[in-house]
Structure 1
Amino acid sequence: MYEYEKMNETEKLNFLAQLSNLYYELNMTQSEIANKFSTSRFKISKLLQEARDRNVVEITINNPHTRVNELENLLKSNFNLKHVIVLDNKSLPLEETLSSLAKLGAEYLDSIITENSIVGVLWGKTISNVVKRLKPKKKLPITVVQVMGAAAKDDPLIDAPELIRKFANSYGGKYKYLYAPLYIDNDYARKAILQEPVINDTLFFANKADIILTGIGTVDAVFASTLWSKYVLANQHSSNLASSKAVGCAFARLYDNSGQEAVIDVNSKIVGIDLEAIHAANHVIGVAAGKFKAEAILGALRGKYINVLITDDDTALKVLSLAQIEVK
């Protein structure tokens, strides 16, 4: 075991993975592993802890997920939704709630994905959590497609290109990038870029997506990327943004509380899937939680930006309250 210290980083990670597999997958005891490698149980225990510290091993606790059927039925009937999942969050912190919703979202996705499904994926921390929790029952020849131009998130691990690659790999499927920015200010340039074969081909697939996974953002979501916050501020007068009465953002589009696209220039500068295609998709799954997002979620429901909602009970109650729908 003295050779471990002499290994390079890649060799160390591989060795830690080997030990972890023996302990966690093959259920060998630490003493048995120690005997196998002619070392002490204490040394094996230390290395297993290192494997956890270095994220070679990630331990997930699967708490039972209780759902609130009454709220699900109210949302489904009042907004003509295909499916609703409302988590009883038991007053969990928001981060834990989002983690539980991610698992429910991953399970729901796996239940509807079929052979040759075309799956559109957007971006964000919530969507990243869903993709991370995907555990397909079987491999399927699906195509995962980037449906909007690059969001240019400050963290590339939660941006669309990385997420569609991970999503596709989990199923053993293919993926298609959209090699374009999210917004193009010059109308002539935007129309020309949309005609480029590689971009046109990806948008062709995007507009045929039968499943789309998206988050639902507040108006502040437009400013979440350093790049686009500067762009939007440079191209919009603050009074214009205020007068638009925008309450939320989905598919990079700002909309008001009735779900109508806000009258604001940035909505006409988008590179990505058409609204008609969004409305035509079989399953447009919105995963979102937090009372601060309730108004944005309500606008998305009214505007038919999604037809499947996955949220928690506190958020659902706030949405229903804003919509003046009585909960008995």
Structure 2
Amino acid sequence: MIDGYENISENEKLNFLADLANMYYELNMTQTEIANKLSTSRFKVSKLLQEAKNKHVVEITINKPNNRVYDLESELKETFNLKAAIVLDNKVLPYEEILYSLGKVGAKYVNSLIKENSTIGVLWGKTLLNLVKHLKPQKKLPITAVQIVGAAAKNKNILDAQELIRYIANIYGGNSKYLYAPLYIDNDYARKALMHEPVISDTLFFANKSDIILTGIGTIDAMFSSTLWSNYLEKNNEYDLSTLNAVGCIYGRVYNNLGEELDIDINKKIVGIDTPSIKRTEHVIGIASGKFKAKSILGALRGRYINTIITDDSTASKVLSLSKITQ
């Protein structure tokens, strides 16, 4: 096969490279042993193994240990009366690598909470996506992943709740419940009528039974970068949120630096479960990273919108510092 390698089809090449990689990586054969078996040179084997990497036949993952900063975890728990805090030692990692590692360490914690018949409410976000993609159940479980508020219409579908719900349900072999509605409906009559429709009310019934809620934490800047939010705010003349000390958005609700839900129209137009129901959930887990999100995270913690925080050490330090100077 090696002698005629250049003349075979691309699909045949990929299959050959997979067999070659299997000998090296799975069967632990040396390159010399493989060369002898295939009647070729060690140099040729080495070159083909590199080609296998280049063509993504072989993908190598290096699982570096994720260290945690336990003193910051304790301080966060004590300061905000949290159920749990997980703080990653980021070692000045690039932001994308922080998100990857944060998702990994967060997924390990979430995996430990998910049990048979768990109901998991799911929101959206890039950081949350990293957590969800790292979930690795040891066995299939009859769980239900449910959408607790309407769709946020993210520009990237993979960041929206429905995609994350579908993924969780698939990897656990469980069920999924979707809320077939937008996050906001301006017309009060239409919104209330829709929430009484059987398919919507059935999903909301499951949402209210959530044992675990997974959410990201949004900044005000992120709101204005989203077509959904900016169109609504523009329509209702609510652009000047800064005068209301607005710092963040969670579950589609805008809140101030004290964690108080703002008395603005947009907060009254949400399709989904209400804030008290969210706060009654046993594990409400927020995952977020970046000093630029510190004010948003602080407001979410003060408002008890989450009872568990997953973040990195520089972000945690910034949040704690802000909590001491802003009351």
CA distance 1:24–1:145, change in 2 (3 Å): farther
Give the aligned partner of residue 323 of structure 2. Answer: 323
Q: 2:314 aligned with 1:310, yes or no?
A: no
Amino acid of the residue matched to residue 185 of structure 1? D
Shift of 1:181: 0.7
How many angstroms apart in 2 are the aligned matches of 1:88 and 1:13?
39
Amino acid of the residue matched to residue 187 of structure 1? D
Give the aligned partner of residue 185 of structure 1. Answer: 186
Q: How much is the aligned-residue C-alpha RMSD, in angstroms? A: 2.5
Amino acid of the residue matched to residue 108 of structure 1? Y
Residues 28-67 of structure 1 aligned to structure 2 (within 5 Å): 41=45, 44-52=48-56, 57-67=58-68
TM-score by length of 2: 0.88
How many angstroms apart in 2 are the aligned matches of 1:178 and 1:36?
57
Give the aligned partner of residue 122 of structure 1. Answer: 123
CA distance 1:17–1:144, change in 2 (3 Å): farther
Q: Could you list the per-position Cα deviations for residues 59-95 of structure 1 after superposition, in whole angstroms to 9, with x for gaps in the alignment?
A: 3322222222211111101211001111121122222
Give the aligned partner of residue 287 of structure 2. Answer: 287
TM-score by length of 1: 0.88
How many angstroms apart in 1 are the aligned matches of 2:15 and 2:202?
39
Shift of 1:291: 0.9
Q: 2:262 aligned with 1:258, yes or no?
A: no
Residues 148-297 of structure 1 aligned to structure 2 (within 5 Å): 148-239=149-240, 241-297=241-297
Give the aligned partner of residue 136 of structure 1. Answer: 137
CA distance 1:196–1:85, change in 2 (3 Å): same
CA contact (8 A) 1:222 1:252 kept: no
Secondary structure of the structure 2 residue equivalent to 1:162? helix
Shift of 1:189: 0.9
Q: Could you list the per-position Cα deviations for residues 151-177 of structure 1 after superposition, in whole angstroms to 9, with x for gaps in the alignment?
A: 111111121111111112111211111
CA contact (8 A) 1:87 1:101 kept: yes
Shift of 1:244: 2.5
Amino acid of the residue matched to residue 324 of structure 1? K
CA contact (8 A) 2:245 2:256 kept: yes
Give the aligned partner of residue 9 of structure 2. Answer: 5
CA distance 1:251–1:32, change in 2 (3 Å): farther
CA distance 1:250–1:15, change in 2 (3 Å): farther
Residues 21-32 of structure 1 aligned to structure 2 (within 5 Å): 24-27=25-28
CA distance 1:162–1:74, change in 2 (3 Å): same
The worse-fitting range, judged by mean Cα deviation, of 84-93 and 292-301 is 84-93
Secondary structure of the structure 1 residue equivalent to 2:9? helix
CA distance 1:187–1:20, change in 2 (3 Å): farther
Q: Could you list the per-position Cα deviations for residues 123-157 of structure 1 after superposition, in whole angstroms to 9, with x for gaps in the alignment?
A: 11111111111122222111111122111111111
How many angstroms apart in 2 are the aligned matches of 1:130 and 1:77?
25
CA contact (8 A) 2:18 2:52 kept: no
CA distance 1:153–1:45, change in 2 (3 Å): same
How many angstroms apart in 2 are the aligned matches of 1:78 and 1:309?
12
Gaps of 5+ in 1: none
Amino acid of the residue matched to residue 140 of structure 1? L
CA contact (8 A) 1:17 1:51 kept: no
Give the aligned partner of residue 83 of structure 2. Answer: 82
Secondary structure of the structure 1 residue equivalent to 2:206? helix
CA distance 1:21–1:172, change in 2 (3 Å): farther
Q: 2:117 aligned with 1:113, yes or no?
A: no
